[in-house]
Amino acid sequence: MSQPTYWKKFCGIELFKINYYAKYYLYRLFGVTLPKLHSQHEYWAKRGQVYMDEILASGYLDREVFFQNMLIDELKQIKFGSFFEAGCGFGWNIRRVKEEFSDTFVGGVDFSLSQLGNAQSYLGEMKLPLVNADNCQMPLKDNSFDVGFSLGVFMNIHPSKIEAAVKEMTRVCGKYIIHLEYDENNTTEKLREKRIFKTNIVSHDYRALYEALGKKVVKYLTYKDFGDAYNLFQKKISKNLDRWEGFEGAEKYIFIVVEV
């Protein structure tokens, strides 16, 4: 079996690490940042081949589940009969939602065929409906789902496309939109410095984007609101983390709930 492209090496070093450090030193030594990726289809076609196995084995989800729990807690407070995730990946979140709310119609959208292929395996007998599509143009009817959600996905959308993605969410969702996403204006200086040179991570002002469409933001939380709970949760984790970049803290996301 051939090695996935993502793990290809040059002189014994993975190409993605060479790419990372080239951008890192351009920024640290010369203050140069490269343009954000206009499209990440190719990136996730390769990344998606290995993402599920890597994430499941690394201990990452033992830590990331804190944010997933925030979603579940929020869903328990609202009435809804259908839910979808925009950028569902291999199905980690939609599987949890279906397990917690078994009578709910749950689906997912993702533009990465490799991710969706892994989702079929991960979801197993659940057989949840999955759509191969871009969040900026989803082949879904108006008000198809009561609740739409994303976790760390819209931060991969180029600034020129984010308004289209947000409009699609308001079109497809009938009641609420929930995001756990990156906002550099509501994070720490340390994390801003760590992410500023990355071409695949983009910060957006989600409150402003939705309010510009006349939508009501009913909840907006930052790491300052849930950071203490996050730290307590992390202290209880016994499984080691096996990731070369480590795990970023509560400041990696804001939590926003929009009433459609």
Tell me the pLDDT tens digit for each residue of 77-110. Answer: 999 999 999 999 999 999 999 999 999 999 999 9
Q: Is residue 180 part of a domain?
A: yes
What is the average per-residue pLDDT within 113-137? 97
Q: Which domain holds residue 65?
A: 35-259
- What is the Cα–Cα distance from 63 to 236, expressed in whole angstroms? 10
- What is the Cα–Cα distance from 52 to 57, expressed in whole angstroms? 8
> How many of the other CB atoms lie within 10 Å of CB of 212?
11
Helices (H), 124-195: 162-172, 189-195
DSSP state of 124: G
Q: Is residue 120 part of a domain?
A: yes
Please give the pLDDT value at position 1. 39
Residues 6 or more apart whose CB falls under 8 angstroms from that of 63 comprise 234, 237, 241, 247
Instruction: Evaluate whether 211 touches 259 at the Cβ level (below 8 Å).
Output: no
For residue 224, give both structure tokens.
């300052």
Give the model's confidence band at 7: pLDDT under 50 very low, under 70 low, under 90 confident, else very high.
Answer: low
Q: Which domain CATH number covers 218?
A: 3.40.50.150
Give the model's confidence band at 9: pLDDT under 50 very low, under 70 low, under 90 confident, else very high.
Answer: confident
For residue 186, pLDDT beyond 90: yes
- Give the count of domains, the chain: 1
pLDDT tens sequence across 37-79: 999 999 999 999 999 999 999 999 999 999 999 999 999 999 9
For residue 144, give both structure tokens.
């198809």
Q: Is residue 207 part of a domain?
A: yes
For residue 226, give both structure tokens.
């849930």
Q: Is residue 141 part of a domain?
A: yes
Please give the pLDDT value at position 212. 98
Q: Is residue 20 part of a domain?
A: no
Q: Is residue 55 part of a domain?
A: yes
Q: Is residue 3 part of a domain?
A: no
